[in-house]
Structure 1
Amino acid sequence: MKKIRCLIVEDEPIAQEIIETFIGRLPFLELVAKTNNVFEAYDELSRNAIDLIFCDIEMPQISGLEFLKSLPQRPQVVMTTAFHQYAHEGFELDVTDYLLKPIAFERFLRAVQKVKERFEAKEILGQRRQGNPEISLPKPPVEETGTPRSNAEEHIFVKEDGNLVKIQFTDIQYVEAMKDYVKIYVENRFIVTYLTMKKMEESLPSAMFARVHKSYIANLTKIKGISGNMLGLLSNVQIPIGMQYRESLLERLGHQIVVR
């Protein structure tokens, strides 16, 4: 995989220096430019091919959020800020991750690994033959009463690189939407398949899975807790909770998890 070309848009000199240092530690990242204002950032984007923007929210004249909303074609974005209340709006813009200052290297690494996974998934999709039809997933077996079974040992088949892959429901951590594709995170890897989010949601047992965001489905048995608008999973991954899904999610979970 080619190096991920980065742009830092950050008006705090110390934060800018920390991000630059962290980028330099990772061989798959390349710093193309850094700036302390969005007007220079526009120029850099017009001159250079940028894959990833590290963008502060509290910027002079134009905020980072306004800057991102104004971009007709947005690279992947990792937001950086000292204020957690912007997380929900950031994820509505489909940012890859959200880093709270002061930024620790371990947390930075987790964020750029997400970026790297998205690029790897994009490369996989680009290598596939065009025109593969969406696979019809088998429906859960039906009991004599006509209601779907919720047996945890059941599974689905999805197409990956032209092959059918069997996935146990109990292995699925969460599902992420990628336009006409979905990324299914299992115990130790992810699977990218040509499938709509709606079709995926219909194919999973509702007793075990819940839509928590327009771009995410979570396995309820893998949830560790909720902090603000973020859902923590047992695998130490956090995914956003959409406002329209939060109330129903809390009702389903009851008092089984910690809400902060």
Structure 2
Amino acid sequence: MKCLIVDDEPLAHRIIKNYCNNLSFLDIVKECHSAFEAINYLNENQVDLIFLDINMPKLKGLDFLRTLSNPPLIIITSAYQEYAMEGYELNILDYLLKPFSFERFLKAINKAVSQKKLLDTSEKTPNIKVTPVSLPNNENQESIFIKGDKKTHQVQFDSILYLESIGSYVKIHLENETIISLDRLTNFENKLPKNIFLRIHRSYIIAIKKVNTIEGNRVKINKKEIPVGSVYKHNLTKFMK
């Protein structure tokens, strides 16, 4: 996995490199000490994962992230926890609060490995056009047909936990499996019943009755904690009244 470090602190570079040296599948291909240096590198090269600091001179990390039209996997490494929600709204993979242990670093890397495997698997079948079938406006509708993995799945609404947008893909998390679709989350939002499903983040739609707990800006479904985006928070508030 090709990795890029973007951080203005030399100590942060040393720590990340030392951690990466323990994992043979991670390859630090470039170290950048500013966002502008990273922009120049990415104009000519591709990477799989960026370790990105937030508080950098001239161009902040999150502002740099907004400039990327097709960003790779992003792990934020920052001493400032107050930017976590904003980071997750930009679809980052994980947020490491400095100083972080190797165990916490490894947890983030495991997420990256799993995500890359899913994306690589989907890219092996680019000729398949994967879109959900339009639903009729019928209150008795109980399922949706979704194409994925060279098959068309009839998915019961009751089996859906939540939908997660990752780049140009959507993962439909079911009780017993996960289906990857090449459609957009907005299309699912328009076709799924509004009384059953709720969009709470630019990257997430949840099944309302699958929610276990709501705490602050987090919704918990099974063991998954899902962030609530500030733009969508009012949607959730309506159902809590």
- Calculate the TM-score normalised by the size of structure 1: 0.75
The Cα RMSD (Å) is 3.1
Q: In 2 relative to 1, CA 167–74 (structure 1 residues): closer, same or farther, beyond 3 Å?
A: same
Aligned to 2:3: 6
SS in structure 2 opposite 1:124? helix
Within 5 Å, give how 1:206-217 maps onto structure 2. 206-217=194-205
The match for 1:90 is 87
Structure-1 separation of matches of 2:47 and 2:126:
27
| Amino acid of the structure 2 residue aligned with 1:115 | A
What is aligned with 1:59? Answer: 56
- 1:150-200 residue CA offsets vs partner (Å, 9 max, x unmatched): xxxx54332122212243434433212246642112346431123332442
- In the alignment, the residues of structure 2 paired with residue 67 and residue 199 of structure 1 have an alpha-carbon distance, to the nearest angstrom, of 28
CA gap 1:207/1:135 in 2 versus in 1, 3 angstroms: closer
Residue 53 of structure 1 and its aligned partner are, at CA, apart by 0.9
> How far apart, CA to CA, are the structure 1 residues paired with 2:97 and 2:13?
13
| CA contact 1:76–1:96 (8 Å) conserved in 2 | yes
Equivalence for 2:27: 30
Partners of 1:226 and 1:40 in 2: CA distance = 39
Q: Tell me if 1:225 matches 2:214.
A: yes
What is the CA distance between 1:55 and its match in structure 2? 0.6
Tell me which residue corresponds to 2:236: 249
Over 3 Å counting, the alpha-carbon distance change for 1:208 and 1:109 in structure 2 is: farther
Structure 1: distance between partners of 2:181 and 2:68: 28
Alpha-carbon distance between aligned partners in 1 of 2:199 and 2:213, rounded to the nearest angstrom = 16
In the alignment, which of 157, 165, 189 is matched to residue 177 of structure 1? 165
- 1:128 maps onto 2:128 in alignment: no
Report the Cα distance in structure 2 between the residues aligned to 1:176 and 1:133, rounded to whole angstroms.
16
- C-alpha contact (below 8 Å) 1:135/1:194 kept by paired residues: no
Q: Would you say the 8 A contact 1:55–1:80 is kept in 2? A: yes
Aligned to 1:186: 174
Aligned partner of 1:196 in structure 2 is 184
TM-score between the two structures when normalised by the length of structure 2: 0.80
Residues 77 and 201 (structure 1), Cα distance of their counterparts in 2 relative to 1, 3 Å cut: same
Q: 2-side partners of 1:48 and 1:39: how far apart?
A: 14
Report the 3-state secondary structure (helix = DSSP H, G, I; strand = E; otherwise coil) of the residue aligned with 1:122: helix
Aligned to 2:98: 101
Q: 1:238 aligns with which of 209, 222, 225?
A: 225
Q: Secondary structure at the match of 2:234?
A: helix
Q: How many residues align?
A: 240
2: CA distance between counterparts of 1:225 and 1:90? 20
Alpha-carbon distance in structure 2 between the residues aligned to 1:68 and 1:209 = 29
Work out the CA distance in 2 between the residues paired with 1:213 and 1:131: 28
Structure 1 runs not aligned, ≥5 long = 255-260
Q: Partner of 2:77 in structure 1? A: 80
Structure 2: gaps spanning 5 or more residues = none
Pair 1:159 & 2:180 matched: no
- Matched residues in 2 for 1:139 and 1:91: separation? 33
CA contact 2:53–2:61 (8 Å) conserved in 1: yes
Query: d(CA) in 2 for partners of 1:180 and 1:109?
Result: 26
